[in-house]
Amino acid sequence: MNYQEKIKHIQTHFPMSVLLKKLNIIPPNFNINHRFPCPIHQGKNPTCCHFTSDNKIHCWKCCKDYDIIDVYMAIRQIKSFHEAIQKIAGFMNSFEFKALNKQEKEITKITINPLKQLYQPMKSKQSVDD
Residue 77 belongs to some domain of the structure: yes
Closest CA to 21 of 112, 98, 95, 100: 100
Q: Does 114 have pLDDT greater than 60? A: no
Domain that holds residue 72: 3-107
Mean pLDDT of the chain: 83
Residue 96 belongs to some domain of the structure: yes
Supply the pTM of this predicted model: 0.76
The C-alpha atoms of residue 72 and residue 75 are separated, in whole angstroms, by: 5
Residue 51 belongs to some domain of the structure: yes
Query: pLDDT per residue over 17-48, tens digit each?
Result: 999 999 888 888 888 888 888 888 887 777 78
The secondary structure of the chain in percent helix, strand, coil, rounded to multiples of 5, reads 45, 10, 50
Average pLDDT for residues 111-121, to the nearest whole number?
Answer: 44
pLDDT band at 120, cuts 50/70/90? Answer: very low
Our count of domains for the chain comes to: 1
